[in-house]
Structure formats: structure tokens, C-alpha cells
């Protein structure tokens, strides 16, 4: 690992967190460390989710809060699917969607830790076709028509760009820029392809912006995964199993659910909420070559809670170290704050008050909302289009997870859950 880059990143992250003033007046932001949960107030979470399931807004959910190594709250609601009406359990399998990115990023950090890749490595070192990539710049004529001019890169895309989403690689299912439209028109998901082929398809498209200039959500993590395959000489799932999933005991976490017994445990959204709006159909039940590192994994609460606890512990779990303290702090520091040169546009998904670590959002300040959303400085979070949501609050030695399959209701549900979690905390 580049030691200068590591030290700069850690210093930047520490300054960002230290400079942000705590807000206590509203009661739910940056609560002093050592808070505990009021069980009567936690009952409001149960009330909320029982109503969500009973009124058919969601099929069901599994909600877990752990603090100081112990379960504070753990309840399941509703059913796995509307057809079988099987109750949800800790063995129910959920599509993680973009929470896949967090798992992929942790394994990438392990490879960085092992010296297999470096954050300042150019992507083209591993995938030569990325040498020739161009940036699509929109030009607008007097009559309002737009054209796309392809310009050279000012610098190569790096591993760091892939991990903090500043590569310029985007998605084609949101926004109306000409580059995003080019992604949508490129049939990126056609046929049965692997990560190697997918990387070549991406390399033929223009970048949305110059590397390092803008936080831009997209397929960066898939390109990262292809590099992980190249340096390990193994498939993405093989390297993830070897370094993370098997040692952690995450036996039900992977990319496809094709076995009859596991298919019976697969959660489904309510029938009128089956469109995950990610530009393609989820084909979890059909084994494909493409192991989508940006959105294709499935997991259970039994599995994912172990992963979340490892993050809360700072990279360790049950006596085994997955990420060293320095590697973890590098991952959990803000890499797009002041001095980074990274801009944020309308589609800045980490949200108000959050910077970006290497794989998940990092809370750096209260944000602009009055009152500020609840949480703690240094909080780590991410979620996915399916509704699954992870929050790691190391200040309170607490994490909470919701696993659900509800793309249209997810933002409202996640926002309400977070508010109820922090309202139940007392000093």
C-alpha cells in the first residue's frame, strides 16, 4: 500500500470528523457515547413494521439492532412472499442489491492489505482497454440540441476512483445526460457474459466526467471486481469465499439461488413492487456467468449480521482479523471532502452530511437539514435498491440492519427506522 497516500487519507478523514460540530439540541444527532436503548421506545419499531406488513406496503422484514455485542432488538415481520406466506426467519434469503458493493469493497481492501493492488494503481495496468477511454462532454447549440464531444482523460482512472465512485463510470437507468443515455442504449446486460466481458463493454463507452472530478454512481465496483479476479487468478465468488465469506461463516451469501431448498427461502417483494428499477431484471434464480459485484449478491440475517459486527469491531470478528486497524480506518475515512477536488451533483446518493469512504458513506457533519437527520459523526452506512440497509455507529458500539424486498417503499421505511432507532437511545 502507498504509505504516503494512506497517511494523507487518514489525516484528511480525521480533520473532516474533528471539524464538524456536534449537535445535541435536537436529541438524535451525535448523542454522547455510552447511550443505551429504552425498550418501551423500541416497541415503536415493532408497531411501525407490523402496520407496514398488515397494510400490504411490504411483504415483510427482518430488523436487528446489536449494541456492545448483544442483541438489543431483533424482530421479524410479515412473510417471505405473498404466495407461500412463509414467515420470515434469520435464514430467509434476501437480494442485497447495492449492499453487494460493501462486501466487494471489503475484500478489495484485503487485497490492498496483502499488497496485491494499490489505491493509486491505474485501472489500465490490469485492463489495457481502459487506456483508450474518453470523457463525454455535452455541447449545447443555440437551438437547444445537445451533442457529445469525446475528450481525452486528464489522468488515468485509479483503484481509488473505483472504490470512492469518482471514476466517471455511471449507470444508464437514472438521469438524462447523453452519457447515461449512451449507457442505456448499449445493451450492457445482453446475453450471458462474465466480468471480463462486462469490463470490455464498459471500456467502449464514454465516461460521464473526468476521473476524480465528480462522485458518480455506477458500475465502478464491477470493474474493481474484475481487477480482483485478475490479481487473484480466481472468480469473484471464489476470492470472496476464501478471504471473507467462509471464514466469517457466511454460508448462505453468494450470487445465485438455484437449489430447491434455498429457493424455498428466497424473499420476494409484494407483486406490485417487483420492479427494482436498476435497468435490468434480477435473475437471482438463474445461474449466470456475471457475478455482479455492484448489485448481485444475496444473504440472510444470520450471515449479514456477522459481516456487520465485523465492521463494527473495526475489521475483526471472533478473534480473526480481516482488516488491520490502519486498513479499516483508511476504508472508513472520507475520501471526497475538502481538498479532494471531488464535486457532488444532484445524484449524490450518500446524502446530506455524508462523505464517501472506500465502499460506503461516512458521516462527516450534521448536514443542512433542520433538524439534522439522526446519527453520529463517523457513522458508516449503505443500502440497496431492494430495501436492505446497514448502519454502523462505532461511537455507540451499535449497528442496525434491515433486510426487506421493497424497492418503492425503501427510502421511507429506512428513514423511519433510523429515526425510531435513535429516538429510543438515552444517555
CB atoms within 10 A of CB 320: 10
74 and 183 part of one domain: no
Residue 105 lies in a domain: no
Q: Residue range 140-154: average pLDDT?
A: 92
Residues 126, 96, single domain; the answer is: no
What pLDDT is recorded for position 142?
87
Query: What value, to the nearest 5°, has the Cα angle with vertex 398 and ends 63 and 269?
Result: 20
Cβ proximity of 355 and 102 under 8 Å: no
- Residue 193 in any domain: the answer is yes
Q: pLDDT tens-digit profile of 95-112?
A: 999 999 999 999 999 999
* CATH number of the domain bearing residue 388: 3.40.710.10
**Which residue, of 180, 207, 232, is where some domain finishes?**
232
Which residues are within 8 A (CB) of 349 and not within 5 positions of it... i.e. 6 or more apart?
217, 361
pLDDT digits (tens, 9 = 90+) for 204-214: 999 999 999 99
Residues 346 and 275 in one domain: yes
Domain boundary among 202, 232, 262: 232
Residue 106 forms part of a structural domain: no
- Considering the domain architecture, whether residues 69 and 155 belong to the same structural domain is answered as no
Q: Are residues 83 and 117 in the same domain?
A: no
Exposure string of 24-34, with b = 16+ CB inside 10 Å and e = fewer, is: eeeebbbbeee
- Specify if 242 maps to a domain: no
**419 and 276 co-located in one domain:** yes
367 pLDDT higher than 60:
yes
Asked, for residue 129, whether it belongs to a domain, the answer is yes
Domain shared by 417 and 276, yes or no:
yes
Q: How far from the centroid of its chain's Cα atoms is residue 102's Cα?
A: 5
Domain carrying residue 324:
3-100+249-426
Q: What pLDDT sits at residue 238?
A: 98
pLDDT (0 to 100) of residue 288: 87
* Final residue of a structural domain among 232, 258, 285: 232
The count of structural domains within the chain is 2
pLDDT in tens, 245-295: 999 999 999 999 999 999 999 999 888 766 655 555 666 777 889 999 999
Residue 61 inside a domain? The answer is: yes
Same-domain status, 220 and 284: no
30 domain residue, yes or no: yes
Residues 157 and 192 in one domain: yes
Nearest to 51 by CA among 416, 423, 383: 416
* The model scores a pTM over 0.75: yes
Query: How much is the pLDDT for 281?
Result: 63
- Residue 42 is assigned to a structural domain of this protein: yes
For residue 349, pLDDT over 80 is answered with yes
Q: Which helix (H) or strand (E) holds 200?
A: helix 195-203
Question: Given this model, what pLDDT does residue 144 score?
Answer: 84
- List pLDDT tens digits, range 19-61: 444 444 345 899 999 999 999 999 999 999 999 999 999 999 9
Spatial distance between the Cα atoms of 81 and 41, rounded to a whole number of angstroms: 29
Residues 198 and 329 placed together within one structural domain of the fold: no
Domain shared by 336 and 372, yes or no: yes
Whether 422 and 303 share a structural domain: yes
Amino acid at each position: 500500500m502507498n504509505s504516503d497516500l494512506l497517511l494523507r487519507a487518514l489525516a484528511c478523514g480525521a480533520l473532516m470528523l474533528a471539524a464538524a460540530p456536534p449537535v445535541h439540541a435536537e436529541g438524535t444527532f451525535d448523542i454522547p457515547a455510552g447511550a443505551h436503548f429504552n425498550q418501551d421506545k423500541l416497541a415503536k419499531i415493532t408497531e411501525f413494521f407490523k402496520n407496514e406488513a398488515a397494510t400490504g406496503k411490504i411483504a415483510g422484514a427482518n430488523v436487528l439492532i446489536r449494541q456492545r455485542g448483544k442483541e438489543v432488538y431483533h424482530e421479524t415481520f410479515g412473510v417471505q412472499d405473498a404466495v407461500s406466506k412463509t414467515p420470515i426467519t434469520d435464514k430467509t434469503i434476501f437480494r442485497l442489491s447495492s449492499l453487494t458493493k460493501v462486501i466487494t469493497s471489503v475484500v478489495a481492501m484485503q487485497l490492498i492489505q496483502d499488497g496485491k493492488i494499490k489505491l493509486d494503481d491505474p485501472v489500465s495496468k490490469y485492463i489495457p482497454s481502459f487506456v483508450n477511454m474518453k470523457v463525454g462532454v455535452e455541447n449545447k447549440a443555440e437551438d437547444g440540441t445537445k451533442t457529445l464531444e469525446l475528450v481525452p482523460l486528464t489522468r488515468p482512472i485509479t483503484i481509488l476512483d473505483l472504490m470512492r465512485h469518482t471514476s466517471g463510470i455511471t449507470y444508464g437507468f437514472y438521469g438524462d445526460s447523453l452519457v447515461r443515455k449512451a449507457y442505456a442504449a448499449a445493451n450492457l446486460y445482453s446475453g450471458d457474459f462474465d466480468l471480463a466481458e462486462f469490463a470490455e463493454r464498459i471500456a467502449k463507452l464514454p465516461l460521464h466526467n473526468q476521473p476524480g472530478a465528480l462522485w458518480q454512481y455506477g458500475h465502478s465496483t464491477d470493474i474493481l471486481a474484475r481487477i480482483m479476479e485478475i490479481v487473484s487468478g480466481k472468480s469473484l465468488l471464489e476470492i470472496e469465499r476464501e478471504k471473507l465469506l467462509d471464514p466469517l461463516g457466511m454460508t448462505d451469501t453468494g450470487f445465485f439461488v438455484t437449489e430447491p431448498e434455498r429457493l424455498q427461502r428466497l424473499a420476494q417483494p409484494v407483486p406490485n413492487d417487483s420492479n427494482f428499477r436498476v435497468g435490468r431484471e434480477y435473475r437471482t434464480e438463474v445461474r449466470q456467468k456475471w457475478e455482479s459485484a455492484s448489485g448481485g449478491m444475496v444473504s440472510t440475517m444470520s450471515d449479514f449480521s456477522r459481516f456487520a459486527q465485523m465492521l463494527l469491531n473495526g475489521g475483526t470478528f471472533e478473534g480473526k482479523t480481516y482488516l488491520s486497524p490502519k486498513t479499516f480506518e483508511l476504508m472508513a475515512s472520507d475520501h471526497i471532502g475538502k481538498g479532494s477536488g471531488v464535486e457532488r451533483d444532484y445524484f449524490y446518493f450518500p446524502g446530506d452530511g455524508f462523505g464517501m469512504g472506500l465502499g460506503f458513506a461516512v458521516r462527516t457533519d450534521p448536514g443542512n437539514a433542520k433538524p439534522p437527520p439522526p446519527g453520529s459523526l463517523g457513522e458508516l452506512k449503505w443500502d440497496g435498491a431492494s430495501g436492505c440497509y446497514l448502519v454502523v455507529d462505532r461511537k455507540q458500539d451499535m449497528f442496525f440492519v434491515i433486510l426487506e424486498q421493497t424497492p418503492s417503499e425503501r427510502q421511507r421505511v429506512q428513514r423511519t427506522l433510523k429515526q425510531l432507532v435513535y429516538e429510543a437511545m438515552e444517555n
